[in-house]
Amino acid sequence: MPPERLQKLIARAGIASRRAAEQLILDGEVTVNGRVVLELGSKADPASDHIKVRGKLLLFTTSPVYVMLNKPAGYVTTMKDPQGRPTVVDLLRGIRGRVFPVGRLDFDTEGLLLFTNDGALARELMHPSRRVPKIYAAKVTGKLTDEEIAKLEAGGMVLETGRTAPCRVRRVRESGQSSWVEVTLHEGKKRQVRLMLERLGHPVSKLIRTQYAGLVLGELSLGKSRLLTAAEVRRLQVAAQGRPEAPPASGAAPARRPPVRTAAPVPGRRVRGRLLVPFNKKAVRR
């Protein structure tokens, strides 16, 4: 492998953003083959050099892998469960290399869960400032009134994990004593959809994530996984920059989202102190 700038390698390993990686270098926290490196321009070869951050060896895979799983209920989103319950990793068959979930779905939640070994992209996608859209279909007890929908959409509901941001809620269908609603979030607080709906007296009996950053499950059966297409990876890279959505890669109708309050960022520019990751052609599988 050709040598690359240390801060880029540290970011790719998912340890820190490039900017934070620069600070780690300046702070003397980074060693290459046992020697402290303080120069920001320094390069290293991830294939042959031992790069350590705070004494921890960075591990690199040769090529990035991006996977979509249609998660069934009854699986924990973790690499290993101390209680011995089935984990989402048990469902990944035929995937080369070690991949990690991008965010999490509850034990009882079904639907679209991404995995990757591209730590830098995963970090950006999960960062709240990126406002990556996630769409959930929720089966609830009863039917939401217009006032309840307006309350949810306005945000400001206080959960244990903080105040909710504005979101979008749409009635989908009614079935007897229950109904289905579609909730579009641009954040990811723990058990957020369940807690928000429960708070208004509509406990959730089934929850399915149907979209993530505009990616859809399509024909993927429950419990199955597949590699992302190049178009889907590009879409994630755009979403990771916090840009407004383009039409979905698979042809599904785009979700309407609340207006983005910041100007569309230019890749590679700093916005509020964060370096926006430039489009990375190498990461796209063809």
Which residues sit at the interface with ligand URA, rule CB under 6 A?
Answer: 105-106, 109, 136, 191-194, 207
Is residue 27 flagged as an active site residue? no
- Least distance between ligand URA and beta carbon 248 (Å): 20
Q: Give me the catalytic one of 49, 81, 90, 106.
A: 106
Six-digit token pair at 188?
């990811």
Q: Minimum distance between the CB of residue 193 and ligand URA, rounded to whole angstroms?
A: 4
Cβ nearer to ligand URA, comparing 58 with 105: 105
- Give the closest residue to 91 by CA, choosing from 285, 200, 226: 226
17, 22, 24, 117 from 13: Cα distances, Å: 10, 14, 14, 8
Least distance to ligand URA, CB of residue 181, Å: 13
DSSP-derived letter for residue 234 is H
State the Cα angle at 9 between 14 and 129, rounded to 5°: 40
For ligand URA, the closer of residues 9 and 114 by Cβ is: 114
Of 66 and 75, the one with the shorter C-beta distance to ligand URA is: 75
Structure tokens at 131: 């406002």
Alpha-carbon gap, residue 270 to 276, rounded angstroms:
6
10 vs 204, which CB is nearer to ligand URA?
A: 204
Closest approach, Cβ 260 to ligand URA, in A, equals 21
Residue type, position 68, single letter: M
Least distance in angstroms from the C-beta of 247 to ligand URA: 24
What proportions of the chain, in percent to the nearest 5, are helix, strand and coil?
A: 20, 25, 50
Residue 197 corresponds to which tokens in the numbers above? 């709906």
> Measured between alpha carbons, how far is 172 from 64 in angstroms, rounded to an integer?
37
Catalytic residue ranges: 106
